[in-house]
Structure 1
């Protein structure tokens, strides 16, 4: 039996405004950045002390920590500015992109201190953090950059509303391109289950295509010609109409994918060529809608978030519900539940309410009732112990 959760601090909506967003510090996991409609980012430590406050010139669009958790990058809506806050110096540096070419997406490399910046005009800027040099890559796409992801091999996948995905090296060389039938979103790198490994450690690019389809594409495949003008083929998975739109998906295990749908369903599929397209598991977890999925390999658990609460499943048997976290927010409108994630250094779940009333971090076996209309951050004692052990 684990100890009861302990609330350590709270960030009120009066401090940051409503529609809160947050981002865990990678690596160390000792800081959390939160922002809301007041256009201010507050960065707190475990004790709730404010380490920094960063004023923004517009609503926060995205926050992202680099691979070591040393730098927090922030972009805002309809702006060409990128804010870079250093956890070491606690100072903020601001860089810009060409005027009227707004930033739309940012993504840090998994293996080097490079920040990729996507823009509204389809351009990419690679920013080298140690040297502060910017490498502009003009005209990579003919439309707005909608999604980006780095692989462990330091390849960058880019998706745009010109219905195309491209993959380039960290030096800006385009390696492959792929045409899609709709706008790609939620790009991820992983590895399909196969008998023989490919060229790269992570050679599979996945993306939600439009709203209904999941696309899989192998990078470095002998059938894909590098930088082919005609593009290379995307394998598209289709699902039953009753499931609704794809809300979220996560890779896990040996090439498995858990996919959540707006109709409240989640399914599990394998990417092994003999099984691909087959549903290995199907459950309607929520009667109204499902908004997001989180997976903790450390706990061997998966969680789905939807109307009325969060359900925790065993990864080894998704039919087994480990626990149910009900949401008592004082009203019936739970359609603003946005997303939840895992702490970078401990297997505890975070849930975020867009208009929210709060954000909470909990041990998955416990429930803390939501008592106040504020952004609440709760740490459990086991989480702190796990973090300390992970850093030894």
Structure 2
């Protein structure tokens, strides 16, 4: 076991309040944004110096950096406003969405400067940042938008509490839909391990369905009727009851998924059709609970967070614990890592 990573700095509850949220800058990775119950976002560099402070008109609901890390988007509870902070100018622009309901989730495209905004009544707004144009897509779902994710192919997956997932192009054209047995959460795009690649670079949509199931759905070529029909069914994975609820999951490698559970366990599964559903690895990392998972392919490491601190594993051998990080402020209320 190697020595614990060096602590750089901490942001106290006195500075941001309780119920903290954070978001690491994409691309450059030199800034971190954090917010809490004091309704202010602080943006710090790696030395802990404050770069900017953004006052909010309500509790922070979500923060998200664009693909290059140039713009931080923020939404707050029970509001239709979106805050856009520029890392270049260090100025904040507040946009008012045309929807008359509340924003519930935001997601930046992986390949273009488009921000998708989901609302409490199932509407979607696509915001083109360079032109400041807003494309409202009314009635995409009949319930609250709960989760969204973009693919490398610039497709947008949307989940809502109407128990449905839809996939649309960046111009708002709906390509496919599928029904779920419960509310989808934690949508991600990736690629299942397969012998022959499909039309898209990332053709697999995954989501937590309810609390205990992981759904996988293949998005087919919209011009191919057979592929479209094949992609309309959701494949659901079930797990042992003793694991508890799904807390988090991450894709890595050639179609592998690491899944963390509230009971303190994490498992690794393959999405290859001959192995799908089989547990390739199982470890109980935390005796009480596990709340979050983070993976760094550059460092070949995976981290889990729960009571007892943070445990870092080698990706090539998850049984090996590389280091354990204990938190000076306490190890019993850890909720997220990244």
Which bracket does the TM-score occupy, shorter chain normalised? over 0.9
CA contact (8 A) 1:123 1:138 kept: yes
Distance 1:309 1:273, change over 3 A: same
Give the deviation of 1:268 after TM superposition. 0.8
1:46 to partner: Cα distance = 3.3
Deviates more, 1:40-49 or 1:17-26: 40-49
SS at match of 2:26: coil
Cα distance change, pair 56–200 in 1 and its aligned pair in 2 (3 A): same
Structure 1, 61-70 or 126-135: larger mean CA deviation: 61-70
Q: How many residues are aligned here? A: 337
Q: Is this contact kept in 1: 2:305–2:335, CA < 8 A?
A: no
Unmatched segments (≥5 aa) in structure 2: none
Q: Which is further off, 70-79 or 43-52?
A: 43-52
Distance 2:146 2:227 in 1: 20
Distance 1:227 1:166, change over 3 A: farther
CA shift digits 1:248-282 (9 cap, x unpaired) = 11101100111111111111111000111111111
| Structure-2 change in CA distance of 1:323 and 1:5 (3 Å) | closer
The alpha carbon displacement at 1:18 in A equals 1.9
Q: Take 1:266 and 1:5, find their aligned partners in 2: how far apart are those partners?
A: 22
TM-score (normalised: structure 2): 0.92
1-structure distance, mates of 2:82, 2:247: 28
The superposition leaves residues 328-384 of structure 1 with CA deviations (integer Å, 9 ceiling, x where unpaired) of 5358666899xxxxxxxxxxxxxxxxxxxxxxxxxxxxxxxxxxxxxxxxxxxxxxx
After superposition, the Cα gap between the structure-2 partners of 1:324 and 1:7, relative to the gap in structure 1 and judged at 3 Å, is: closer
SS in 2 for 1:14: helix
Q: Any gaps of 5 or more consecutive residues in structure 1?
A: 338-392
Instruction: Give the structure-1-normalised TM-score.
Output: 0.80
- The CA distance in 2 between the partners of 1:47 and 1:193, in whole Å, is 40
| Shift of residue 7, structure 1, vs aligned partner | 5.6
Point out which structure has higher relative CO (alpha carbons under 8 A, 6+ apart).
Answer: 1
Q: Is the 8 A contact 2:122 2:142 kept in 1?
A: yes
Deviations 1:298-344 (A, max 9, x none): 2211111111122222211112222222345358666899xxxxxxx
8 Å CA contact 1:213–1:239 kept in 2: the answer is: yes
CA contact (8 A) 1:24 1:31 kept: yes
Distance 1:308 1:9, change over 3 A: closer
Higher mean alpha-carbon deviation, 289-298 vs 145-154, is at: 289-298
Query: Over aligned residues, Cα RMSD in angstroms?
Result: 2.6
Displacement after TM superposition at 1:214 (Å) = 0.3
Greater CA drift, 216-225 or 46-55: 216-225
Change (3 A) 1:87 1:288: same
Deviation at 1:118, TM superposition (A): 0.2
